[in-house]
Amino acid sequence: MANDSYEGGCLCGAIRYRITGTPKFQSMCHCRSCRRASGAPVVAFVGVFDDQFVELKGTRTIFESSPGVKRGFCRTCGSSLTFAGENWPGEVHVFTATLDDPEAFPPTVHTYCQDRLPWIDPDDGLPRLERFGAGQQS
């Protein structure tokens, strides 16, 4: 990465954030929970440590979508912004498409492929994981 700081935000601009440094992972998640939370058939994430993420404007609303899983979104426009789970302590997973420059973080792996919709069959040569557990690297 040429730049070590990237900004992003929600659709309406009420929330702005910055991530810094090298991400822990860049993935495409196929799990049912992410699909339902986003309304998309697959969701790209950039995983960073908590200290690499800062809100610059506004505050995300946090919704516990299942035990131990907290999803951050904009209360005004509904944009999904972040995911945090007890299986990944000290991390925040940012929805890649909410970054101003999402092209800077192409996915390197597909995760939760066990839940993949049958009409989504990427032919991108990236590794496919059935799950994405604690401590599992991309």
Q: Tell me how many domains the chain contains.
A: 1
The rounded mean pLDDT for the chain is 91
Residue 130 maps to a domain: no
Question: In this structure, is residue 138 part of a structural domain?
Answer: no
Tokens 């997973």 belong to: 93
- Determine the structural domain holding residue 100 and report its residue range: 5-115
Query: Which pLDDT score, from 0 to 100, does residue 133 have?
Result: 55
Maximal C-alpha separation, the chain: 39
User: Whole-prediction pTM value?
Assistant: 0.88
The per-residue pLDDT for range 83-109, each reduced to its tens digit, is: 999 989 999 999 999 999 999 999 999
Q: Per-residue DSSP letters for 73-93?
A: E-TTT--EEEEEETTSTTEEE
CATH code for the domain of 94: 2.170.150.70
27 domain residue, yes or no: yes
> pLDDT per position in the chain (138 positions), as tens?
446 999 999 999 999 999 999 999 999 999 998 999 899 999 999 999 999 999 999 999 999 999 999 999 999 999 999 999 998 999 999 999 999 999 999 999 999 999 999 998 888 988 888 876 544 433
